[in-house]
Chains A and B, each alone.
Chain A
Amino acid sequence: MKMLIHRLATSKAHGEDSPYFAGWKAYEENPYHPLNNPSGVIQMGLAENQVSFDLLEEYLEKEQEQVFKCGSNFRETALFQDYHGLKDFKKALASFMGEIRGGRAKFDENRLVLTAGATAANELLTFILADPGDCLLVPTPYYPGFDRDLRWRTRVNIIPIHCDSSNDFQVTRKALEDAYKEAEKKRSKVKGVLLTNPSNPLGKVIPRKILEDILDFVTKKNMHLISDEIYSGSVFAPNEFVSVAEIIEENGYKNSERVHIVYSLSKDLGLPGFRVGAIYSYNPNVVITATRMSSFSLVSSQTQRMLASMLSNKEFTEKYIRTNRERLRKRHEKIVEGLKEAEIECLEGNAGLFVWMNLRPLLEERTREGELKIWETIVNEVKLNISPGSSCHCSEVGWFRVCFANMSEKTLEVALKRMKDFVEKKKNKKQQQQQQQLLGYYFG
């Protein structure tokens, strides 16, 4: 084909050649099923929330009339393509976001911009806040999809803010300054910091003090702060999450023009297929521009209408948020305990749909290659698709993200047993090797 295909089409910034996606392939070719394929690959690389569907299904069953009546509503809904979004839906979403934060922050629906998923929201914000060649600072480890979402079409760079286990992977002032200096060396203008809070893949909320430090930093450097809070409804205890919105409100909205929050219903409500994302910005210019730009990725009006009634039902949302938290907490406990029995430690987590598992003791070499080697073994022999820390740009090797909410409890038990067996086998093999070495020493 002699045609010129544009650079974007040939660039690899879509990121699909990374292990993050290769593991999915192994799963797709041999998916676990308790009856049909009990020795298949168990998918633990997909951060989906499947623990609370029954609550949604129950709601839909009860409210069928309300939710699905077509009649005169159909025409209006079908024609509604206003990029300002359905007012009822935005009100309901703003209120839901406030509820998730225990009422500690209020959200004005006029600052909300709807987008087809957080994927679109993050890209859109990047287009608005940064020029091609500029960069955003992102703490590592981070969601592998950011490499595509923040960089691909925007041509903006990501400079990592390196975090490690010495302080539970928290962002430090030094790490921030180092990242900033690295950008300067590369002659790339830093336009902002992008956080995920609660963190993916760490499964932990960012402490208040750290958020304040980061806010100070971005204010001093006159840059933006994007806080991706898509897991905010999945914090196990009701009061442990501090949103950047709370800090802004406490400070009387001073310096808030640089702060933008991303939300979505894909994780907390388990509705990734419906493509419901939102940008909440304290900057009126960003709200106006993002609203216009959302034309490229609007949320289906059919979906907005259905969710407007669901999220305005306070009885439902209160019950959902409370129950979902509790179930995730229980699942989290189960996996942490199960891994402990296999003598595997995890980072102490308090949120999200995954744990950050430490397999450093099992690495043959403490290198990226060592990590990928054990990962391959786990995918191909233990038949668990987990995500290696290197695909999340973690600078410390040996960590893995393991999802626990996208499967039934029984499947989780099977997975934990496999891990236990794997670790034991490895231990025994090591012991055998050590014994043979000793024998060799004495009798060799």
Chain B
Amino acid sequence: MRPSTVPLSEVAVSKTHGEDSPYFAGWKAYDEDPYDAVTNPSGVIQMGLAENQVSFDLLEEYLEEHPEASSWGSGISSFRENALFQDYHGLKSFRKAMASFMEKIRGGKAKFDADRIVLTAGATGANELLTFILADPGDALLVPTPYYPGFDRDLRWRTGVNIIPIHCDSSNGFQITIEALEAAYSEAEVAKMRVQGILITNPSNPLGTVMTRSVLELLLDFATRKNIHLISDEIYSGSVFSSTEFVSVAEIVEARRHEEAERVHIVYSLSKDLGLPGFRVGTIYSYNDRVVTTARRMSSFSLVSSQTQKMLALMLSDTEFTERYLRTNRERLRKRYEFIIKGLKSAGIECLDGNAGLFCWMNLGPLLEEDTREGELKLWELILQEVKLNISPGSSCHCSEPGWFRVCFANMNLQTLQVALKRIKEFVDGRKPKN
């Protein structure tokens, strides 16, 4: 960018928007040469976008059967009311529907109070908002690696807050350990940063795994000991392949009878589970009254369109629909996951044992020329330019162990996935192994 003659702020000129990382560079290659089965069969296949496209037909079917959801009915007198509704409390019917949906996802193992739900334009808005509320500029949040690259922007850019990584590696399936937690906390102390909280993503992006109950207990104990907050980003909670494997921090809070609940906050969104990223529907669920009140006021800067709230209130209060959707969506994701794992295995590639999400965490360590970040990026570029697959290198997720890649499998049809797997197999077969 040519520098502006009129000065802009430090936030404006900083690189913290993060768009210079490979995570975004790969998208450019895709944009310039996108795969299409018919018109561009040798183009780049997008496997870096965590979108859920496997269950759209269910939504389309619902909307077809319920036209009142996307219009305002005959006479359109409800249009006026809906168009005027800008209350930052959000539509009550929508909040109730969200609370009920979140309960269904957790198999009724946790209850959600609609009055603790704050609506935001996407989880992107929610995570930033929580950071503004819980931390000062210069403070730190501890985040387990590998993590979603967007956090670098969402948690740090305008807030001025830092991220200190909690390093995880394959020695134990990338689970958080007490040693890693303590090390991260000490690192913050050495850097003279006040730690205000821990932010986890559960199920994890990019790992595609749920957190175990014991790790969640560990985290809550640690947060209590240090008197800090715990934010649990559960946006993939409806994308766990089996209906019973997910343990939400909400369950732990309830098991502890809400003791120390005031430090716990959950982020949710309809972008992944329902595949509606365009509609910008995110929520913050907090057990802390002060946080709820403040978040509500602050949500003025990123409210959800009342038109969208109205449509989704109808859809998500339809329990017959939501039950069927969750059940079917899980099943389809599970099948996709099995398909890609099998395909990669036949190419001699192992993945982390996953049970959730829209991606798998693939291990290309054996294919690296050097076991370094540079080695990983070299391999990544090769895969992008020659194999024409846009996958996300672990280093863009701040993974401390080189050679891992996140590969999305739900944002394309099965045929495209087959083509991608074929290309990977050919690539691996054509390469000499490290030793």
Binding site for B on A (CB under 8 A): 1-9, 14, 16, 48, 50, 53, 56-57, 60-61, 64, 67-68, 70-71, 74-75, 77-81, 116-117, 119-120, 123, 127-132, 134, 148-149, 152-153, 191, 222-224, 257-258, 266, 270-275, 283-286, 288-289, 292-293, 295-303, 306
Contact = CB atoms under 8 A, between A and B. Distances in A.
B280 A79 contact: no
B12 interface: yes
Given A6-B133, A129-B9, A300-B304, 9 more contacts: A16-B297, A60-B79, A70-B60, A119-B301, A127-B11, A134-B9, A153-B132, A285-B12, A303-B307
Given A57-B80, A273-B82, A3 B263 contact: yes
Closest 8 CB pairs of A and B: A301-B278, A273-B306, A300-B305, A297-B302, A272-B86, A81-B277, A80-B278, A273-B85
A78 B276 contact: yes
A83 B108 CA distance: 36
B125 interface: yes
A119 B300 CA distance: 7
Contact of A75 (B12, B19, B60): B60
A284 B8 CA distance: 12
Interface in B12-33: 12, 17, 19
B121 interface: yes
A3 B262 contact: yes
B80 A68 contact: no
24 contacts: A5-B133, A7-B136, A8-B298, A53-B79, A57-B77, A70-B63, A74-B59, A77-B278, A116-B121, A116-B280, A127-B12, A128-B8, A128-B11, A148-B300, A149-B301, A153-B132, A222-B6, A266-B86, A273-B307, A275-B303, A275-B306, A285-B8, A297-B301, A298-B280
Contacts of A292: 17, 19
B121 A296 contact: yes
Interface of B: 1-12, 17, 19, 51, 53, 56, 59-60, 63-64, 67, 70-72, 76-77, 79-80, 82-86, 121-122, 124-125, 128, 132-137, 139, 153-154, 157-158, 196, 227, 229, 262-263, 271, 275-280, 288, 290-291, 294, 297-298, 300-308, 311
Nearest to B295: A9
A9 B291 contact: yes
A128 B294 contact: no
B12 A271 contact: no
A273 B71 CA distance: 15
Given A57-B79, A127-B11, A129-B12, A78 B278 contact: yes
Residue with the greatest number of chain A CB neighbours at <10 A, chosen from B64, B71, B83: B83
Contacts of B71: 60, 64, 67-68
Given A273-B82, A285-B12, A302-B305, A295 B153 contact: yes
A288 B3 CA distance: 12
B84 A50 contact: yes
A2 B6 contact: no
A224 B12 CA distance: 14
Contacts of A57: 76-77, 79-80
Contacts of A301: 278-280
B180 to A, nearest CB: 24
A71 B59 CA distance: 11
B238 to A, nearest CB: 16
Contacts of A191: 7, 9
B300 to A, nearest CB: 5
A257 B304 contact: no
B304 A286 contact: no
Contact of B6 (A258, A300, A306): A258
A75 B128 CA distance: 27
A53 B80 contact: yes
Given A8-B133, A79-B275, A285-B12, A2 B307 contact: no
A272 B87 CA distance: 10
Given A222-B6, A266-B86, A8 B132 contact: yes
A382 B229 CA distance: 48
B128 A303 contact: no
Contact of B86 (A3, A79, A273): A273
Contacts of A56: 79, 83
A10 B431 CA distance: 59
Contact of B279 (A6, A78, A153): A78
Residue with the greatest number of chain B CB neighbours at <10 A, chosen from A53, A74, A270, A300: A300
B86 to A, nearest CB: 4
Nearest to B71: A68
A79 B51 contact: yes
A294 B85 CA distance: 22
B6 A79 contact: no
Residue with the greatest number of chain B CB neighbours at <10 A, chosen from A74, A77, A78, A128: A78
B85 A79 contact: no
Contacts of B80: 50, 53, 57
Residue with the greatest number of chain A CB neighbours at <10 A, chosen from B121, B136, B262, B278: B278
Contacts of A81: 122, 271, 277-278, 280
Contact of B124 (A77, A272, A296): A296
Contacts of B51: 79
Residue with the greatest number of chain B CB neighbours at <10 A, chosen from A152, A303, A306: A303
Contact of A132 (B63, B137, B303, B304): B137
B332 to A, nearest CB: 15
B84 A272 contact: yes
Residue with the greatest number of chain A CB neighbours at <10 A, chosen from B17, B121, B135, B153: B121
A274 B301 contact: no
A280 to B, nearest CB: 16
A300 B307 contact: yes
B73 to A, nearest CB: 10
Contacts of A129: 8-9, 12
A296 B6 contact: no
Contacts of B157: 293
A293 B59 contact: no
A250 B273 CA distance: 51
Contacts of B121: 116, 275, 296-298, 300
Contact of B305 (A3, A9, A60, A299): A299
Residue with the greatest number of chain B CB neighbours at <10 A, chosen from A48, A131, A288, A302: A302
Nearest to A266: B86
B59 A6 contact: no
Contacts of B288: 1
Contact of B136 (A6, A48, A74, A134): A6
Nearest to B300: A119
A271 B83 contact: yes
A303 B70 CA distance: 11
A269 to B, nearest CB: 8
Residue with the greatest number of chain A CB neighbours at <10 A, chosen from B139, B271, B276: B276
A382 B122 CA distance: 43
A273 B153 CA distance: 28
Contacts of A149: 301
A288 B124 CA distance: 18
A301 B307 CA distance: 11
B301 A53 contact: no
A302 B83 contact: no
Contacts of A283: 4, 6
Contacts of A70: 60, 63-64, 70
A256 to B, nearest CB: 10
Nearest to A123: B301
Given A117-B303, A153-B158, A302 B86 contact: no
Contact of B290 (A9, A130, A258, A302): A9
A129 B13 CA distance: 10
A119 B12 CA distance: 19
B360 to A, nearest CB: 21
